[in-house]
Amino acid sequence: MNAEIIGIGTELLLGQIANTDAQFLSQQLSALGIDIYWHTVVGDNHNRIIEALKTASGRSNIIITTGGLGPTMDDLSKETLAEFLGIKLKIHEPSLKRIQDYFSSIGREMTESNEKQALFPEEAIILKNDNGTAPGAIIEKNSKIYIVLPGPPSELQPMFINEVKPYLAGKTGDEIYSRVLRIFGVGESSVEDKIKDLLQKQGNPTIAPLAGGGQVTLRITAKAASQIEADQLIIPIQKEIESRLGNSVYGYDGDSMETVVLNLLKQKGLSIAIAESCTGGLATNMITNIPGSSEVLLESCVTYSNESKIKRLGVSEDTLINYGAVSSQTAYEMAEGIRKTSGADIGVAITGIAGPGGGTDQKPVGLVYLSISNSKGTETKQLRLGGNRIRIKAAAALHLLNWLRLSL
């Protein structure tokens, strides 16, 4: 089966809100084994909605509309769909009662326009809305399934999970199962080159590369009747990819670099302290975004000026004069300084030139030094990063965490 999602609302076309409903529904439908071939967005216009429904009905088994279920005159979804299908509208009394009770519970009088939200095509299955006043509906007509959902995600998502998903699950056979491999330190073209033969002969499962944020993901997707059957298809491909990419595969599915690093520190019972310059606390922010980070992170300092590097971390003034703030020597002393003064097991440091100014021929924008210090010694690493200031900062923080992951 295949589905098409029609987002209804002029605000979507104008970019006033993002179409997060389509993203959510695509993820949910894929998990049910339903293919998504088209996303359509149309404004609050009767004729254009009719045209969108006509096009979708000619190419899709399931047509889902989102939005346009409010009480105002420009909310046209149900009315237009009923006209398109040649079905009369009538008041659904249980829905009207729920709407009346909702307004009573919040101490407000229901307006006449809100009764419009209880009007539905006669043949519809009504989907109750526990989070708003606009019910949804399912209509089966002409061998097609039409699903009408409200626009606000807080209403659409629970309605889909509780009402629509069980309905559709009974209509499909195989489901779709995925495993995501998360990769860092190898570019998308290099990843593709290493697994080119697997990509060329893929069938079930499929392999989909995606790059973004300085990382690469590979989604391995299988159609199967159960998770066990899907694993039998996915795991051999996963192991083959891992054997080729080695430790550049840092995690799976919902893992993030910072989650992986934090878990490794916890497993080993190690504490950490961080000294940052050019990243301005970004690496620390990534770590502290994860619940439980206080178990391992003792301290963090943004030592932006030379004076703060000297005063807080004990970086030698001679080092700064002779080598500069952006140097392996300074990074070395920053990592040692934060480790010793904090009492942490591991000290890490970043210093660099994020730009757009401040670079020279000898030290260009994007030059970054990292350092990791522990009781066995201190190491430094040089990076040459590209992009604007924000990208350089983000990449530097990721490289630091990845190097820490590998050292752990």
- List pLDDT tens digits, range 9-62: 999 999 999 999 999 999 899 888 898 999 999 999 999 999 999 999 999 999
- AA letter at 407: S
**For residue 21, which of 128, 138, 127, 157 has the smallest C-alpha distance?**
157
Distance CA 255, CA 262 (A): 11
CA angle 135/140/146 to nearest 5° reads 55
What integer is the mean pLDDT of 308-313?
A: 98
Sketch out the chain's domains with CATH numbers. Answer: 2-169 (3.40.980.10), 175-252 (3.30.70.2860), 257-407 (3.90.950.20)
Length of the chain in terms of residues written: 408
Indicate the pLDDT class of residue 170, thresholds 50, 70 and 90: confident
Q: CB-based contacts of 286: which residues, under 8 Å, 6+ apart?
A: 256, 257, 258, 397, 401
Structure token digits, residue 187: 């570019």
User: Which of residues 105 and 316 earns the better pLDDT score?
Assistant: 316
How far apart are alpha carbons 386 and 365 in whole angstroms? 8
Mean per-residue pLDDT over the chain, rounded: 94
Write down the pLDDT at residue 173. 67
Distance, in Å, from the CA atom of 319 to the CA atom of 213, rounded to the nearest integer, reads 34
**pLDDT higher than 90, residue 71:** no
The position carrying tokens 């993203």 is: 23
Please check the confidence at residue 155 and state whether its pLDDT lies above 90.
yes
Residue 74: pLDDT band (50, 70, 90) is confident
**pLDDT of 330 over the 90 cut:** yes
198 C-beta neighbours (distance < 10 Å), count: 16
Asked if 45 contacts 15 with a C-beta cutoff of 8 angstroms, the reply is no
Mean pLDDT of 183-191: 93
**Above pLDDT 70, what percent of the chain?**
100
Nearest to 3 by CA among 21, 19, 26: 26
382 beta partners? 369
Per-residue model confidence (pLDDT) at position 111: 82
User: Does the structure show a pLDDT above 80 at 397?
Assistant: yes
In the chain, the amino acid numbered 391 is R
Write the CB contacts of 313 (distance below 8 Å, at least 6 apart in sequence).
275, 301, 303, 333, 334, 337, 338, 341
How buried is residue 108: exposed, middle or buried, by Cβ count under 10 Å (0-12/13-18/19+)? exposed
The angle at the Cα of 177, spanning 174 to 180, to the nearest 5 degrees, equals 160
- Tell me: pLDDT of 89 over 80: yes
**What whole-number percentage of the chain has pLDDT above 90?**
80
Evaluate whether 48 touches 42 at the Cβ level (below 8 Å).
yes
Task: Return the sign of the alpha-carbon dihedral for residues 150, 75, 12, 81.
Answer: positive
The helix/strand count (H/E) of the chain reads as 16, 17
Q: How many CB atoms lie within 10 A of CB 393?
A: 24
Please give the helix or strand (H or E) that residue 322 lies within, else none.
Answer: helix 317-323
Mean pLDDT across 365-387: 97
pLDDT, average across residues 346-372:
97
The pTM of the full predicted model, rounded to 2 decimals, is 0.75
Are 369 and 363 contacting, i.e. CB atoms less than 8 angstroms apart?
no
Q: Say yes or no to pLDDT of 395 above 90.
A: yes
Phi-psi group of 388: left, alpha or beta (phi > 0 → left; psi -120 to 50 → alpha; rest → beta): beta
206 vs 203: CA distance, rounded Å? 6
pLDDT at site 335: 98
- Tokens representing 132 are 């708003």
Q: What is the pLDDT of residue 32?
A: 86
How far is Cα 271 from Cα 373, in angstroms, rounded to an integer? 12
| Dihedral of alpha carbons 66, 71, 76, 81, sign | positive
101-110, 298-307, 325-334: range with lowest mean pLDDT: 101-110
